[in-house]
Structure 1
């Protein structure tokens, strides 16, 4: 692959931002983001680059494709705004749901580079520092991502179905209303059924795959707390996404060290280090080499996904995800129907006062019991989702035999 002309791009974009930064989303895309993507080898004006798509409840300004297969997600904010942590987390959930393993979220001044599918590694880079990140950016080029999509697989079908889902739903609903008497009256039911059908197809094609082919799994925790920003903020505030992301990385890494950026330059390729406390119990604790994905559904379809490289980590992340979606009202001590083990309590003890075997403290203060096999944790995830009024579908390595 020829060397990237990142230095020229950075010089031109930096001069523009310093002189007169774009104030609208349209101008930010035209003057800052389009040139970046073209530098990375993407033709933003070609039909192969989908524009303004909604995927899993996150809006994407660009979805570059290779032979109609989505290869990259790009989300953009106006240059005068900071990045929105909520949108960044939604973008990560969309990556987990679709299997698209590379994404860029930018306002033309700050760049959040994301990599992975179940465990999402990320790196924040300022415009002025892009020249130092050429090896990282090489993993977001048309050449690199295209070479990874040459082999046909069911996972690639899942990507296409996920990205084209809104268009397919509309087409199915239009067809159903056209062939039924007074079909317009039943359009909401047709739409809900079409969404469920397509969600099932996406999962059916995605779950046939082993680990993602977009690169090795990393053990950065896939958590909504990873980027803690309540919304768009102006440049220079304490809540800027760069500061929030760096602080969260420090908090999640007990060693306090930066993640390894060696290898092919992709974020965290060799960052297979533990980010959770490991207790040495039987199962997958400490192994960090799996892909445990949980997808959540309500009555209308998919609402999001989480993932982790261990089943105990996925159990914790699933509980955190559910806290904002109906689980927060649980009355501790709580245990699933038919179970004699307390799963959630005010403290790290069971209802009888005996200590939990492997408690993890959640963000709302409750203690979650994480001990047990992958199968037992899977049952716990489903019980927690059911308690929140949702349905959980588990894919990846949940059925793997533990050692």
Structure 2
């Protein structure tokens, strides 16, 4: 039986246990959910290769990692465990990172039996840094077999964990670049094609090029067992009936806040940005130029002029308020991906309705 099938069986058994005990405490979570996973990955809990409550010197005090997975008496993975009744927090991540950094451990797993966060020590820089390599829920564990395989005793002992980590990191970086640079890539593809076929088909070629990049992102995610990073927003309670073909519905904690509408995607995006500026103090919460996604690209979503961060002219932009412009030459998919970032900055969710 392959690892993916074994993980699938583990998920089914764990879900049944959690369904019967939804507020499972830490000791039971460790025994019933976490330790079976360690066994599945080849780490026998009752052996010299697994040490419970491993002491880590932090400053003048001593902390204890819940599990240290050892090879040749040296920790190679730290596991920090919480109860299923406890939500994972940034504080828990910091705790695990500090253990990894202090001892120089390459891998870390933070879990409460419901959620799993896998960390990898960045060995490419002199500055200590522990990267979040994957984050997934129990139900998605079988789709994340690749990262779980890197945590197996067999893979680490054979040195196969490093290539796996590099593959995942390279894929994540590629996905980030494709998302960030999609408008530029679509423009480049369009120019290449229209140079041979003529400008008359420029728009359908550009639309197809953007779809191609989206499909490539999806392929990379699925082949690397990396779940998509765009969760579905909560459905807001209904507000007033809009009168345009395209609508953006803003909500906070599920309660309707406002709806903007227009007869084109570019116009409704402009109206949505204008609402956030006028009514939610967006400009107090962001710096211009505002670059969406990873923030490492050059294409601005908002800027004080209709230009990108590198000085190039925005292909299509609308003025939101005086001296604030929004870049609207995005596919519907990218509008759905990047515009919600603006709403999130001011604590709002947004839903796209109408003819999207």
Using structure 1 for the length normalisation, give the TM-score: 0.39
Structure 1 or 2, whichever has the larger Rg, is 2
Larger RCO, structure (CA 8 Å, separation 6 or more): 1
The structure carrying a bigger helix percent of its residues is 2
The structure carrying a bigger strand percent of its residues is 2
